[in-house]
Amino acid sequence: MDFNTKNIQQQYQGFLNTSLLWATILEGLEQLSLPSPPTTLFEGHITQNPRLGKRVESFVSCYLQQCKEIKILKENIQIQNDKITVGEIDCLLLKNHSPVHLEIVYKFYLYDSSIGKSEIEHWIGPNRKDSLQQKLDKLKNKQLPLLYKKECIPLLKQLNLDINKIQQKVFFKAQLFVPLANHNVVFNQLNSDCITGFYINQKELKLFSDCKFYIPKKIDWLLGPNSNVDWLNYSSFENQVSEILHHKTAPLCWMKQPNGEISKFFIVWWKPQVC
């Protein structure tokens, strides 16, 4: 690697520290249960790709390789029909010699009780362009069914896999953020350990005028907040974040209060609704 190895290790630790979004099965989607890795050291190969999703895929690959009961058969498999890509399978593996089709997800969701009517429907993306329910539907109706398309037959023959014996599972981790004004979020289906912080809008920012701030790069959203960064004062932060919000993008930020307490939060360009 010709870039910051220490930073990659911190990102990997942040990935490991993120909990699975649910324990076993949600809407028919079963999590792949794995033990804690024998080491928290990232030993995989990684390229300097700025996309967070690709970085997570590399971290999951390293995690799986460290599990004795797992044997990876193939990863990031482009499924094509006459040179036209019809989809991608994240991973085919053996767990204790049993074949598994695994789809990998790492997401950031904010709780908005004005959206939808159920616990699942209330969780949306920071920019309101996606939601947990949409992702679950995509997994059930598009990503997992891809295995059963005729275009996958050559792949399964190549790996000597019987499609009737393949289990389909997900590895779905998430960081969840609750509104500053309403922390009374009910968790009946999702894992409350995924709560990472809160979110506010620009008007609420003035409540923290005596604090210092930091805006990590998106690739560092995996990190737990720490004090060893170049903190911005309120005025500088407000100017920078205003420009970001102007483009209807919600940044993830860190905040250090006068007592030294550090927290993680989103600041959004839309007005949170309280129902």
In a domain, 275, yes or no: no
Q: Which of 136, 168, 187 is the last residue of a domain?
A: 187
Same domain? 75 vs 203: no
What pLDDT does 275 receive?
47
Same domain? 57 vs 137: yes
Same domain? 200 vs 183: no
- Residue 4 clears pLDDT 80, i.e. is over it: no
- Residue 212 clears pLDDT 50, i.e. is over it: yes
In a domain, 273, yes or no: no
Same domain? 107 vs 150: yes
Same domain? 180 vs 202: no
Enclosing domain of residue 212: 196-268
Nearest of 232, 239, 240 to residue 256 by alpha carbon: 232
Sorted by sequence, the CB contacts under 8 Å of residue 120 that are 6+ apart come out as: 26, 27, 132, 133, 136, 189, 190
CA distances from 46 to 2, 176, 207, 210, 262 (A): 10, 27, 41, 40, 30
Same domain? 40 vs 174: yes
Q: pLDDT for 229-273, tens place per residue?
A: 999 999 999 999 999 999 999 999 999 999 999 999 999 999 766
Q: Which of 187, 204, 219 is the last residue of a domain?
A: 187
Q: pLDDT for 149-169, tens place per residue?
A: 999 999 999 999 999 999 999
Q: Read off the pLDDT band of 24 (50, 70, 90).
A: very high
pTM of the predicted model as reported, rounded to 2 decimal places: 0.94
Same domain? 154 vs 37: yes
In a domain, 274, yes or no: no
- Residue 43 clears pLDDT 50, i.e. is over it: yes
Place of tokens 């737990």: 224
- Residue 274 clears pLDDT 70, i.e. is over it: no
In a domain, 138, yes or no: yes
What pLDDT does 205 receive?
95
Same domain? 160 vs 258: no
Is 3 or 37 the better-scoring residue by pLDDT?
37
Q: Read off the pLDDT band of 181 (50, 70, 90).
A: confident
- Residue 57 clears pLDDT 60, i.e. is over it: yes
268/244 Cα distance (integer angstroms): 10
Number of domains in the chain: 2
CA distances from 192 to 22, 108, 174, 265 (A): 9, 14, 11, 16
Distance between first and last Cα of the chain: 49
Q: Which of 187, 218, 241 is the last residue of a domain?
A: 187
In a domain, 241, yes or no: yes
In a domain, 92, yes or no: yes
What pLDDT does 238 receive?
97
187/200 Cα distance (integer angstroms): 21
Place of tokens 């498999």: 77
Give, as one character, the DSSP assignment of residue 18. Answer: S
We report the CATH number of the domain holding residue 243 as 3.30.1490
What pLDDT does 51 receive?
86
**Contact status, residue 21 vs residue 133, Cβ threshold 8 Å:** no
Same domain? 235 vs 111: no
Same domain? 96 vs 216: no
Same domain? 162 vs 54: yes
In a domain, 20, yes or no: yes
Q: Read off the pLDDT band of 38 (50, 70, 90).
A: confident
Q: pLDDT for 70-109, tens place per residue?
A: 999 999 999 998 888 899 999 999 999 999 999 999 999 9
Output the average pLDDT for the chain.
Answer: 92
In a domain, 83, yes or no: yes
Same domain? 210 vs 122: no
